[in-house]
Structure 1
Amino acid sequence: MQHTRTQDTLVGLFVAAGIVALFFLSLQVSNIRSFMPADTYVITARFSNSGGLKVKSPVSVAGVRIGRVSNIYIDKETYESVVEMSIESKYDTLPDDTSATIYTAGLLGEQYINLDPGGSFDYLKNGGRIEITQSAIVLEEVIGRFLFQKAEE
Protein backbone atom coordinates (compact mmCIF):
# COMPACT_ATOMS: atom_id res chain seq x y z
CA MET A 1 0.00 0.00 0.00
CA GLN A 2 1.44 3.30 -1.06
CA HIS A 3 1.27 6.50 0.95
CA THR A 4 -0.01 9.48 -0.94
CA ARG A 5 0.41 13.10 -0.14
CA THR A 6 -3.35 13.36 0.54
CA GLN A 7 -3.21 10.58 3.13
CA ASP A 8 -0.26 12.20 4.87
CA THR A 9 -2.07 15.55 4.92
CA LEU A 10 -5.25 14.01 6.36
CA VAL A 11 -3.30 12.18 9.07
CA GLY A 12 -1.50 15.41 9.96
CA LEU A 13 -4.79 17.32 10.19
CA PHE A 14 -6.26 14.55 12.38
CA VAL A 15 -3.29 14.69 14.76
CA ALA A 16 -3.45 18.51 14.89
CA ALA A 17 -7.19 18.39 15.68
CA GLY A 18 -6.46 15.92 18.48
CA ILE A 19 -3.84 18.23 19.99
CA VAL A 20 -6.24 21.20 19.85
CA ALA A 21 -8.98 19.09 21.50
CA LEU A 22 -6.60 18.08 24.31
CA PHE A 23 -5.65 21.73 24.82
CA PHE A 24 -9.28 22.82 25.24
CA LEU A 25 -9.99 19.84 27.49
CA SER A 26 -7.09 20.85 29.76
CA LEU A 27 -8.50 24.41 29.94
CA GLN A 28 -11.87 23.06 31.07
CA VAL A 29 -10.37 20.75 33.68
CA SER A 30 -8.18 23.51 35.15
CA ASN A 31 -11.14 25.96 35.41
CA ILE A 32 -9.58 28.45 33.00
CA ARG A 33 -12.37 29.95 30.93
CA SER A 34 -10.55 32.35 28.65
CA PHE A 35 -7.27 34.08 28.05
CA MET A 36 -8.68 37.57 28.59
CA PRO A 37 -10.07 38.47 32.02
CA ALA A 38 -13.70 39.55 32.00
CA ASP A 39 -14.81 42.93 33.36
CA THR A 40 -14.79 42.30 37.13
CA TYR A 41 -14.66 44.02 40.49
CA VAL A 42 -12.92 42.72 43.63
CA ILE A 43 -14.45 42.14 47.06
CA THR A 44 -12.87 40.56 50.14
CA ALA A 45 -13.99 38.38 53.02
CA ARG A 46 -12.17 37.19 56.15
CA PHE A 47 -12.45 33.63 57.42
CA SER A 48 -10.97 32.00 60.52
CA ASN A 49 -10.31 28.91 58.36
CA SER A 50 -10.43 28.84 54.57
CA GLY A 51 -9.91 25.06 54.48
CA GLY A 52 -8.95 23.74 51.07
CA LEU A 53 -10.21 26.77 49.19
CA LYS A 54 -7.96 27.59 46.23
CA VAL A 55 -7.34 30.45 43.85
CA LYS A 56 -9.79 30.10 40.90
CA SER A 57 -12.38 28.33 43.07
CA PRO A 58 -15.93 29.34 42.06
CA VAL A 59 -17.94 32.05 43.80
CA SER A 60 -21.68 31.53 43.43
CA VAL A 61 -25.06 32.93 44.38
CA ALA A 62 -28.03 30.52 44.39
CA GLY A 63 -25.95 27.94 42.50
CA VAL A 64 -24.94 30.34 39.70
CA ARG A 65 -21.23 31.06 39.29
CA ILE A 66 -20.72 34.83 39.39
CA GLY A 67 -16.97 34.97 39.90
CA ARG A 68 -13.81 33.27 41.10
CA VAL A 69 -11.42 33.47 44.04
CA SER A 70 -8.52 35.63 42.86
CA ASN A 71 -6.22 35.62 45.91
CA ILE A 72 -5.91 34.06 49.38
CA TYR A 73 -3.50 35.31 52.03
CA ILE A 74 -3.19 35.56 55.81
CA ASP A 75 -3.60 38.77 57.76
CA LYS A 76 -0.42 39.04 59.88
CA GLU A 77 -2.20 40.92 62.68
CA THR A 78 -5.41 38.90 63.13
CA TYR A 79 -4.18 35.58 61.66
CA GLU A 80 -7.35 35.33 59.60
CA SER A 81 -7.50 34.07 56.05
CA VAL A 82 -8.32 36.94 53.67
CA VAL A 83 -10.02 35.83 50.46
CA GLU A 84 -10.24 38.18 47.48
CA MET A 85 -12.99 37.42 44.96
CA SER A 86 -13.29 38.73 41.42
CA ILE A 87 -16.99 39.16 40.66
CA GLU A 88 -18.30 39.72 37.14
CA SER A 89 -19.45 43.33 36.70
CA LYS A 90 -22.91 42.31 35.54
CA TYR A 91 -23.52 41.13 39.12
CA ASP A 92 -22.86 44.55 40.68
CA THR A 93 -26.04 44.59 42.79
CA LEU A 94 -24.85 42.47 45.71
CA PRO A 95 -26.12 44.12 48.93
CA ASP A 96 -23.43 45.22 51.38
CA ASP A 97 -24.87 42.91 54.06
CA THR A 98 -24.25 39.81 51.94
CA SER A 99 -22.84 36.80 53.81
CA ALA A 100 -20.16 34.40 52.54
CA THR A 101 -19.88 30.70 53.38
CA ILE A 102 -17.28 28.17 52.25
CA TYR A 103 -18.93 24.95 51.08
CA THR A 104 -17.66 21.68 49.64
CA ALA A 105 -19.15 20.34 46.40
CA GLY A 106 -20.11 16.81 47.39
CA LEU A 107 -18.44 14.83 50.16
CA LEU A 108 -14.85 15.14 48.90
CA GLY A 109 -15.26 17.68 46.09
CA GLU A 110 -13.65 21.06 45.60
CA GLN A 111 -14.51 23.94 47.90
CA TYR A 112 -16.27 27.07 46.74
CA ILE A 113 -17.74 30.26 48.20
CA ASN A 114 -21.49 30.75 48.29
CA LEU A 115 -22.78 34.28 48.76
CA ASP A 116 -26.18 34.86 50.38
CA PRO A 117 -27.45 38.35 49.51
CA GLY A 118 -28.87 40.40 52.37
CA GLY A 119 -31.60 43.03 52.24
CA SER A 120 -29.63 46.27 52.22
CA PHE A 121 -30.25 48.90 49.58
CA ASP A 122 -26.51 49.74 49.44
CA TYR A 123 -24.33 47.57 47.18
CA LEU A 124 -20.81 46.18 47.48
CA LYS A 125 -18.37 48.22 45.42
CA ASN A 126 -14.88 47.46 44.10
CA GLY A 127 -12.70 46.90 47.16
CA GLY A 128 -15.73 46.23 49.38
CA ARG A 129 -15.66 43.77 52.26
CA ILE A 130 -18.13 41.08 53.30
CA GLU A 131 -18.45 41.21 57.08
CA ILE A 132 -20.62 38.12 57.72
CA THR A 133 -18.68 34.93 57.01
CA GLN A 134 -18.77 31.26 57.91
CA SER A 135 -15.56 29.27 57.64
CA ALA A 136 -15.03 25.93 55.99
CA ILE A 137 -16.06 22.82 57.87
CA VAL A 138 -13.01 20.64 58.38
CA LEU A 139 -14.05 17.00 57.94
CA GLU A 140 -11.39 15.73 60.35
CA GLU A 141 -12.74 17.98 63.15
CA VAL A 142 -16.30 16.77 62.61
CA ILE A 143 -15.22 13.12 62.68
CA GLY A 144 -13.10 13.74 65.81
CA ARG A 145 -16.01 15.39 67.63
CA PHE A 146 -18.30 12.52 66.66
CA LEU A 147 -15.83 9.91 67.88
CA PHE A 148 -15.16 11.68 71.21
CA GLN A 149 -18.88 12.19 71.74
CA LYS A 150 -19.54 8.47 71.19
CA ALA A 151 -16.63 7.53 73.47
CA GLU A 152 -18.09 9.60 76.34
CA GLU A 153 -21.50 7.87 76.13
Structure 2
Amino acid sequence: MNRGVYDFWVGLFVVLGMAAMAFLALRVSSVSTGNAAAVYRVSAAFDNIGGLKVRAPVKSAGVVVGRVSAIQLDPKTYRAVVAIDLEQHFHFSKDSSAEILTSGILGDQYIGLTPGGDEAMLVAGDKITLTSSALVLEKLIGQFMLSKADENKPAATPAAGK
Protein backbone atom coordinates (compact mmCIF):
# COMPACT_ATOMS: atom_id res chain seq x y z
CA MET A 1 0.00 0.00 0.00
CA ASN A 2 1.17 3.47 -0.69
CA ARG A 3 1.57 6.30 1.81
CA GLY A 4 -1.71 8.06 0.83
CA VAL A 5 -3.82 5.04 1.86
CA TYR A 6 -2.07 4.85 5.25
CA ASP A 7 -2.62 8.57 5.80
CA PHE A 8 -6.32 8.17 4.98
CA TRP A 9 -6.83 5.32 7.49
CA VAL A 10 -4.84 7.07 10.23
CA GLY A 11 -6.83 10.26 9.66
CA LEU A 12 -10.14 8.37 9.76
CA PHE A 13 -9.09 6.65 13.00
CA VAL A 14 -8.15 9.98 14.59
CA VAL A 15 -11.45 11.61 13.55
CA LEU A 16 -13.48 8.68 14.91
CA GLY A 17 -11.47 8.76 18.15
CA MET A 18 -12.12 12.49 18.58
CA ALA A 19 -15.84 12.00 17.89
CA ALA A 20 -15.98 9.20 20.48
CA MET A 21 -14.20 11.41 23.05
CA ALA A 22 -16.61 14.29 22.41
CA PHE A 23 -19.59 11.94 22.78
CA LEU A 24 -18.26 10.57 26.09
CA ALA A 25 -17.48 14.07 27.38
CA LEU A 26 -21.05 15.18 26.68
CA ARG A 27 -22.51 12.09 28.34
CA VAL A 28 -20.35 12.42 31.45
CA SER A 29 -21.00 16.14 31.85
CA SER A 30 -24.76 15.46 31.47
CA VAL A 31 -25.23 18.17 28.87
CA SER A 32 -28.56 17.65 27.19
CA THR A 33 -28.43 16.50 23.60
CA GLY A 34 -31.90 17.51 22.54
CA ASN A 35 -33.95 14.77 24.23
CA ALA A 36 -35.10 17.05 27.03
CA ALA A 37 -38.05 15.88 29.08
CA ALA A 38 -40.95 18.19 29.86
CA VAL A 39 -40.14 20.26 32.95
CA TYR A 40 -41.76 22.76 35.27
CA ARG A 41 -39.78 25.51 37.01
CA VAL A 42 -39.86 26.29 40.72
CA SER A 43 -37.52 28.43 42.79
CA ALA A 44 -35.88 28.38 46.20
CA ALA A 45 -33.95 31.04 48.13
CA PHE A 46 -30.79 30.19 50.07
CA ASP A 47 -28.54 32.24 52.37
CA ASN A 48 -25.43 30.56 50.95
CA ILE A 49 -25.21 28.27 47.92
CA GLY A 50 -21.52 27.42 48.31
CA GLY A 51 -20.22 26.00 45.03
CA LEU A 52 -23.59 25.17 43.49
CA LYS A 53 -23.56 25.65 39.72
CA VAL A 54 -26.08 25.90 36.92
CA ARG A 55 -26.88 22.40 35.52
CA ALA A 56 -26.22 20.83 38.95
CA PRO A 57 -28.53 17.88 39.60
CA VAL A 58 -31.60 18.04 41.82
CA LYS A 59 -32.10 14.72 43.60
CA SER A 60 -34.74 13.11 45.74
CA ALA A 61 -33.85 9.83 47.48
CA GLY A 62 -30.71 9.73 45.32
CA VAL A 63 -32.63 9.88 42.03
CA VAL A 64 -32.06 12.83 39.68
CA VAL A 65 -35.45 14.57 39.34
CA GLY A 66 -34.31 17.84 37.78
CA ARG A 67 -31.55 20.38 37.22
CA VAL A 68 -30.58 23.84 38.45
CA SER A 69 -31.44 26.17 35.57
CA ALA A 70 -30.40 29.60 36.91
CA ILE A 71 -28.86 31.29 39.95
CA GLN A 72 -29.41 34.96 40.79
CA LEU A 73 -28.91 37.27 43.74
CA ASP A 74 -32.06 38.93 45.07
CA PRO A 75 -31.11 42.64 45.38
CA LYS A 76 -33.62 43.21 48.22
CA THR A 77 -32.87 40.28 50.53
CA TYR A 78 -29.31 39.50 49.34
CA ARG A 79 -30.21 35.82 49.17
CA ALA A 80 -29.37 33.51 46.28
CA VAL A 81 -32.47 32.57 44.31
CA VAL A 82 -32.08 29.25 42.52
CA ALA A 83 -34.39 28.31 39.64
CA ILE A 84 -35.00 24.57 39.48
CA ASP A 85 -36.38 22.67 36.49
CA LEU A 86 -38.15 19.54 37.74
CA GLU A 87 -39.14 16.79 35.34
CA GLN A 88 -42.89 16.82 34.71
CA HIS A 89 -43.50 13.26 35.89
CA PHE A 90 -42.10 13.98 39.39
CA HIS A 91 -44.57 15.69 41.71
CA PHE A 92 -43.61 17.20 45.06
CA SER A 93 -45.88 18.65 47.72
CA LYS A 94 -45.88 22.38 48.45
CA ASP A 95 -44.25 21.84 51.85
CA SER A 96 -41.25 19.99 50.40
CA SER A 97 -37.84 21.16 51.58
CA ALA A 98 -34.65 21.80 49.61
CA GLU A 99 -31.09 21.64 50.89
CA ILE A 100 -27.71 21.98 49.26
CA LEU A 101 -25.68 18.82 49.72
CA THR A 102 -22.24 17.63 48.65
CA SER A 103 -21.57 14.31 46.94
CA GLY A 104 -18.59 12.89 48.78
CA ILE A 105 -16.14 14.85 50.92
CA LEU A 106 -14.90 17.22 48.22
CA GLY A 107 -17.46 16.47 45.51
CA ASP A 108 -19.82 18.63 43.52
CA GLN A 109 -22.81 20.19 45.18
CA TYR A 110 -26.41 19.40 44.32
CA ILE A 111 -29.87 20.16 45.64
CA GLY A 112 -31.63 17.48 47.66
CA LEU A 113 -35.43 17.63 47.75
CA THR A 114 -37.31 16.06 50.63
CA PRO A 115 -41.04 15.61 50.00
CA GLY A 116 -43.49 16.94 52.55
CA GLY A 117 -46.93 15.71 53.49
CA ASP A 118 -49.18 18.40 52.01
CA GLU A 119 -51.94 17.35 49.62
CA ALA A 120 -51.28 20.30 47.27
CA MET A 121 -48.45 19.83 44.78
CA LEU A 122 -45.85 22.28 43.48
CA VAL A 123 -46.70 23.81 40.12
CA ALA A 124 -44.71 25.98 37.73
CA GLY A 125 -43.78 29.29 39.36
CA ASP A 126 -44.06 28.11 42.98
CA LYS A 127 -41.38 28.80 45.60
CA ILE A 128 -39.90 26.21 47.95
CA THR A 129 -39.81 28.03 51.29
CA LEU A 130 -38.14 25.42 53.51
CA THR A 131 -34.45 25.58 52.56
CA SER A 132 -31.11 24.74 54.14
CA SER A 133 -27.98 26.46 52.87
CA ALA A 134 -24.73 24.79 51.94
CA LEU A 135 -22.18 23.94 54.60
CA VAL A 136 -19.01 25.80 53.74
CA LEU A 137 -15.97 23.75 54.75
CA GLU A 138 -13.78 26.81 55.38
CA LYS A 139 -16.34 28.27 57.78
CA LEU A 140 -16.60 24.98 59.71
CA ILE A 141 -12.82 24.72 60.02
CA GLY A 142 -12.63 28.33 61.23
CA GLN A 143 -15.28 27.71 63.88
CA PHE A 144 -13.48 24.55 65.01
CA MET A 145 -10.14 26.38 65.28
CA LEU A 146 -11.71 29.21 67.27
CA SER A 147 -13.39 26.81 69.68
CA LYS A 148 -10.08 24.97 70.22
CA ALA A 149 -8.28 28.28 70.81
CA ASP A 150 -10.89 29.24 73.44
CA GLU A 151 -10.40 25.89 75.20
CA ASN A 152 -6.64 26.42 75.45
CA LYS A 153 -6.86 29.93 76.97
CA PRO A 154 -5.87 30.00 80.65
CA ALA A 155 -8.69 30.87 83.01
CA ALA A 156 -8.64 34.42 84.33
CA THR A 157 -7.39 34.57 87.92
CA PRO A 158 -8.89 37.02 90.39
CA ALA A 159 -6.63 39.92 91.34
CA ALA A 160 -4.59 39.23 94.50
CA GLY A 161 -5.19 41.32 97.60
CA LYS A 162 -8.78 42.36 97.00
TM-score normalized with structure 2 length: 0.86
After TM superposition, give the deviation of residue 125 of structure 1 in Å.
0.2
Whole-Å separation in 1 of the counterparts to 2:16 and 2:146? 56
Structure 2 residue identity aligned to 1:62: A
Whole-Å separation in 2 of the counterparts to 1:107 and 1:4? 53
Three-state SS of the structure 2 residue aligned to 1:142 is: helix
Whole-Å separation in 2 of the counterparts to 1:110 and 1:33? 19
Whole-Å separation in 2 of the counterparts to 1:74 and 1:13? 48
Whole-Å separation in 2 of the counterparts to 1:37 and 1:70? 13
Please give the residue correspondences for 1:90-105 in structure 2 after superposition, counting only pairs within 5 Å: 90-91=89-90, 93-105=91-103
After TM superposition, give the deviation of residue 78 of structure 1 in Å.
0.6
User: Could you tell me which residue of structure 1 aligns to residue 135 of structure 2?
Assistant: 137
Please give the residue correspondences for 1:7-18 in structure 2 after superposition, counting only pairs within 5 Å: 7-18=6-17
Deviations 1:77-128 (A, max 9, x none): 111100001111111x211100000011111111000000001111000111
After TM superposition, give the deviation of residue 9 of structure 1 in Å.
4.6
Three-state SS of the structure 2 residue aligned to 1:136 is: coil
RMSD: 1.6
Is 1:43–2:42 an aligned residue pair?
A: yes
Please give the residue correspondences for 1:13-24 in structure 2 after superposition, counting only pairs within 5 Å: 13-24=12-23
Please give the residue correspondences for 1:80-99 in structure 2 after superposition, counting only pairs within 5 Å: 80-91=79-90, 93-99=91-97
Deviations 1:6-42 (A, max 9, x none): x555434322211211111221343313235321110
Whole-Å separation in 2 of the counterparts to 1:9 and 1:36? 34
Question: How many residues matched?
Answer: 151
Three-state SS of the structure 2 residue aligned to 1:90 is: coil
Whole-Å separation in 1 of the counterparts to 2:49 and 2:4? 60
Whole-Å separation in 2 of the counterparts to 1:132 and 1:104? 18
**Structure of greater Rg:** 2
Structure 2 residue identity aligned to 1:108: L
Which of 134, 139, 146 lines up with 2:144 in the alignment?
146
Please give the residue correspondences for 1:107-126 in structure 2 after superposition, counting only pairs within 5 Å: 107-126=105-124
**% identical equivalent positions:** 46
Whole-Å separation in 1 of the counterparts to 2:101 and 2:57? 10
Whole-Å separation in 2 of the counterparts to 1:108 and 1:28? 22
Three-state SS of the structure 1 residue aligned to 2:113 is: strand
The 3 A distance-change label for structure 1 pair 149 and 17 is same
Unaligned runs of at least 5 residues, structure 1? none
Three-state SS of the structure 1 residue aligned to 2:134 is: coil
